[in-house]
Amino acid sequence: MAKNNFREYDQRQLYWSTINLEELLEADHPARIVDKIIERLNLKCIYDYYSEEGNPPYHPKMMLKILFYGYYSSQMSCRKMWNSVKYRADFMYLAAGQVPDFRTINKFRLRHLEVLPDLFTQIVFLCAQLDMIGFEHLAIDGEKIKGSASFKKNKDRKGLEIEYEKTKRGLKHLIEQEISEDFSEETKIKRRKKVEKKLQKIEEMKSKLETFLEEDEKENKRKDGGTKKNNSRKRSKDEIKLNMTDGDSKAMTHKDGRILPSYNHQSAVDGKYGVSCSLKSRMSSDHPDDLFPLVDEANKNTKNNFKNILADCAFGNFDIFEEIDKKRAEDFYVPDARFQMKKAGKLPKGEYNLDYFTRNANGEIICPDGYSMDYKGIQKKKGNYVYRYRGTHCDKCLNHDNCTKSKFRLLEIDVREKYQTKMREKLESDKGREIYMKRQGIVEPVHGDDQKNRGWIQHHLRGYFKAKAEFILVRIASNLRKIAIYRSNEILAKI
């Protein structure tokens, strides 16, 4: 029988191979685009950190390419980046054959967290230069991302006290425990230091929680009254918790109803290609005070002004509506919470608040039963002024018990209510509805891409400052992907 004519095959055979980095990737590969973009950036803010003495470090430009491309390709763990640098052609191309380990990559990331906002701004302006920003619609919203901590470590004031007493008893037991063959003096000292460190941490957490409780109380005081009852439920002191693993991550309710230690990250996204133009991170839910800074930062980063600003009800209150009407040049579309609830059919039934009262052509307030109310003047309340009205036929009204517990219904209307009414009329107009419908289609896909496509559902870094920087890295990566999709030819054509 004839022998098969196979090529020689021996896995133990040594061989030499010459690698040309330029031939590793196709001409329009995303790694080449990221490489070209970073070559265009001004990295003086990073170079200034290094001195001319000591052992030469890896080149910052190379490290930045690995870091940005890691987030671009959803390799957000430094260990995954290290593994990719060893085995993936696209990472090898960017690293030029060098192999920084995961500790080196992580140290570089942590060392330069402060310069990330400047690099983000440069990339946003590059998008503007590439005509990727339309300046027609700027949609603003926040997304909650779980912190690098377990929910089981969330503690309220009582929980911290229990944990403190428990740790204290453990320390006392440890001090009283005698030295033996199985329990050496060295082990005792080591464990004692660990327990004492935990006690100190709990004390710091208690102090931080008290500060947060004071801030929350001030926040509750400054919330708009607008109606007799405050429409938003205030949290009790027992509901406010801090996490012992990551003390900056607060318990937040996510869209699926889960309550997790999280950070809230806000993006201002342009409607043309979905470029994120400005960012802000919070240790609490969205707040009206965030609206104008996000818009101003987007204008500054792009060196231009946006026409229409779209945001949800979390960013709207009387102060915002007044400033929009008096000072802002942009056209804002921001509903208030009650308007949003009314549109969704979620207003509490049987509650006769301001939404059930109307104003006739003469400016009189008409109650739900059709009677005009008596005007009683202006009164200062919670730092603002309100118009006061009293019912005239409450004693004959069949809905009296649903409307008020007093003999006559008293109604207080904020003097700034006219600005809120003006915003509601704008949103209910044909033009307003058409424009505001675009909000979800602009900003929500960016959040969906983060969590569903890129798998960013939990932070890798702990603490507010690091979590904020991690969000900037995620947004830099999303903008780089936009450039790769829509302007790759222009970037690759640049010398």
Q: What is the pLDDT of residues 184-204, one digit of tens each?
A: 888 888 888 988 888 888 888
Residue 206 lies in a domain: yes
Q: Could you list the residue range(s) of the whole structural domain that residue 41 is in?
A: 21-111
Are both 87 and 138 inside the same structural domain? no
Are both 296 and 395 inside the same structural domain? no
Are both 311 and 457 inside the same structural domain? yes
How many angstroms separate the CA atoms of 76 and 473, rounded?
9
Which two tokens mark 492? 């690759």
For residue 105, the model assigns a pLDDT of 97
pLDDT of residue 316 exceeding 50, the answer is yes
pLDDT of residue 229 exceeding 70, the answer is no
pLDDT of residue 84 exceeding 50, the answer is yes
Among residues 55, 84, 111, the one where a domain terminates is 111
From the list 259, 238, 262, 239, the residue with the least C-alpha distance to 250 is: 262
Going by pLDDT thresholds of 50, 70 and 90, the confidence category of residue 351 is low
Q: Which residues of 354-378 are buried (b: 16+ CB within 10 A; e: fewer)?
A: beebeeeeeeebebebeebbeeeee
Residue 327 lies in a domain: yes
CB-CB contact of 233 with 348 (8 Å): no
pLDDT of residue 4 exceeding 50, the answer is yes
For residue 222, the model assigns a pLDDT of 54
Residue 49 is classified by DSSP as T
Are both 261 and 135 inside the same structural domain? yes
Domains held by the chain: number: 4
Residue 119 lies in a domain: no
Going by pLDDT thresholds of 50, 70 and 90, the confidence category of residue 231 is very low
How many angstroms separate the CA atoms of 316 and 224, rounded?
11
Residue 270 lies in a domain: yes
Are both 256 and 336 inside the same structural domain? yes
Return the residue matching tokens 């190379």. 62
Are both 400 and 461 inside the same structural domain? no
Are both 179 and 287 inside the same structural domain? no
Residue 142 belongs to what H/E stretch? strand 137-146
pLDDT of residue 407 exceeding 80, the answer is yes
Return the residue matching tokens 């009314």. 342
Residue 139 lies in a domain: yes
Residue 265 lies in a domain: yes
Residue 490 lies in a domain: no
pLDDT of residue 64 exceeding 60, the answer is yes
Residue 5 lies in a domain: no
For residue 456, the model assigns a pLDDT of 95
Are both 25 and 106 inside the same structural domain? yes
Are both 293 and 440 inside the same structural domain? yes
Length of the chain: 495
Are both 187 and 259 inside the same structural domain? no
Residue 451 is classified by DSSP as I
What is the pLDDT of the chain when averaged over all its residues?
Answer: 88
From the list 479, 457, 464, 482, the residue with the least C-alpha distance to 113 is: 464
Are both 365 and 396 inside the same structural domain? yes
CB-CB contact of 267 with 140 (8 Å): yes
Worst-scoring range by mean pLDDT, 271-280, 373-382, 473-482? 373-382
DSSP 318-348: HHHHHHHHHT--SEEE---HHHHHHHTT-SP
Count each helix (H run) and each strand (E run) in the chain, helices first. Answer: 18, 13
Going by pLDDT thresholds of 50, 70 and 90, the confidence category of residue 448 is very high
Q: Are strands 331-333 and 308-311 parallel, antiparallel or unpaired?
A: parallel
For residue 220, the model assigns a pLDDT of 60
Going by pLDDT thresholds of 50, 70 and 90, the confidence category of residue 233 is very low
From the list 219, 264, 251, the residue with the least C-alpha distance to 155 is: 251
Going by pLDDT thresholds of 50, 70 and 90, the confidence category of residue 348 is low
pLDDT of residue 443 exceeding 60, the answer is yes
Residue 224 vs residues 214, 316, 322: alpha-carbon distances, Å: 18, 11, 13
For residue 155, the model assigns a pLDDT of 79
Are both 323 and 441 inside the same structural domain? yes
> What is the arithmetic mean of pLDDT over 237-250?
74
CA-derived radius of gyration, the chain: 30
> What is the arithmetic mean of pLDDT over 294-305?
97
CB-CB contact of 478 with 449 (8 Å): yes
Worst-scoring range by mean pLDDT, 97-106, 132-141, 239-248? 239-248
For residue 219, the model assigns a pLDDT of 63
Q: Is 104 exposed, middle or buried (0-12, 13-18, 19+ CB in 10 A)?
A: middle
Q: Are strands 137-146 and 308-311 parallel, antiparallel or unpaired?
A: parallel
Q: What is the pLDDT of residues 115-138, one digit of tens each?
A: 999 999 999 999 999 999 999 999
CB-CB contact of 388 with 378 (8 Å): yes
Worst-scoring range by mean pLDDT, 63-72, 313-322, 382-391? 382-391
Q: Which residue has the higher pLDDT, 144 or 55?
A: 144
Can you give the pTM of this predicted structure?
0.84
Going by pLDDT thresholds of 50, 70 and 90, the confidence category of residue 230 is very low
pLDDT of residue 342 exceeding 70, the answer is yes
Q: Which residue has the higher pLDDT, 317 or 344?
A: 317
Q: Are strands 384-390 and 374-381 parallel, antiparallel or unpaired?
A: antiparallel
